[in-house]
Amino acid sequence: MKVIIAEDYTKQCSIAADIFEEIIRAKPDCCLGLATGSSPVGMYQELARRCREEGLDFSRVHSVNLDEYVGLEPTHDQSYRYFMDTNLFDHINIDKCNTYVAKGTGDVEANLREFNDVLASSEIDIQLLGVGGDGHIGFNEPGDSLYDHAHLEVLDESTIDANARFFASRDDVPRYAVTMGVGDIMRAKRLLLIINGNKEDAASQLLLGDRITPRCPVTLMKIHPDATVLIDRALADKIGYKG
């Protein structure tokens, strides 16, 4: 696992954008695995700038997203489809028909079949990841075991607490999500994690501990053949990681 310490969030975003740009320029019809949450927002802004000002071309790029809340329409301002449209897709020259965010409303089983079909026919060149405070990736919550494929996940109370800041009240946070399984994530050719903020526990387990455990799903990154962790200096210092 490669670890890069970035001086601050701006630098973290530009390094992440460099990694994505390199892949897009080398393979214009690549498939990007995308993520939501606050961690990737700055990187998406930087990719949009490079598209606008430097001609970074997304016209043949495909994308698949990690997850979606169950119960939110794609037009809901906290749905992950809406997040992707407003934070990235509306600002680059991607064909939205080539972007996939699982459906959160309607027949859950049918939605999961469709999600798994999309994943089975996609070869993800790079999967972007953030991490929950409890170590979850996508919405794969810690537990005795983890899922291989896309499935329905019951969100942990700590995840609901963490995500409540985006909703009018905690009661409005969905209790379920559909998410790629950890197997789907591990099958991506490359993984890139952006980690900063109050993620001390997950960062320590990933960078200082020797355990690979379903109790902290992000630790699976340790056994991926091409994984990069992009951590900011503040968090690296907080956990005493020297590189």
Between 104 and 130, whose beta carbon lies closer to ligand GLP?
A: 130
CB-nearer residue toward ligand GLP: 159 or 219 = 159
Residues 6 or more apart from 164 whose CB is under 8 A from it? Answer: 170, 173
What's the min distance (Å) between Cβ of 237 and ligand GLP? 19
Considering the complex, state which of residue 35 and residue 203 has its C-beta at the smaller distance from ligand GLP: 35
Straight-line distance from the first to the last Cα atom of the chain, in angstroms, rounded to the nearest whole number: 12
| Rounded least distance, CB 26 to ligand GLP, Å | 26
Q: Closest CB to ligand GLP among 57 and 214?
A: 214
CB of 170 to ligand GLP, least distance (A): 15
Choose between 46 and 67: whose C-beta lies nearer to ligand GLP: 67
- Helix 9-26 to helix 41-54 angle (10° resolution) is 50
Please give the single-letter amino acid code of residue 96.
K
Q: Which residues pair with 3 in a beta bridge?
A: 229
Name the minimum Å distance from CB 132 to ligand GLP.
5
Residue 37 C-beta: closest distance to ligand GLP, Å = 3
Classify 139 as helix, strand or coil.
coil
Q: Would you say 99 or 163 has its CB closer to ligand GLP? A: 163
Work out how close the CB of 93 gets to ligand GLP at its nearest, in angstroms, rounded to a whole number.
25
Nearer to ligand GLP, 13 or 66 (CB): 66
Residue that is written with structure tokens 């960078």 in the block:
207
CA 238 to the chain's CA centroid: 23
Share in percent of the chain as helix, strand, coil (round to 5) = 40, 20, 40
CA 101 – CA 191 distance, rounded (Å): 19
In whole angstroms, give the CA distance from residue 95 to residue 240: 43
Contact residues: ligand GLP, CB under 6 A: 35-39, 66-67, 130-132, 138-139, 159, 163
Residue 79 CB neighbour total at 10 angstroms: 22
Cβ(133)–Cβ(198) below 8 Å: yes
As measured in angstroms, the least distance from the Cβ of 138 to ligand GLP is: 5
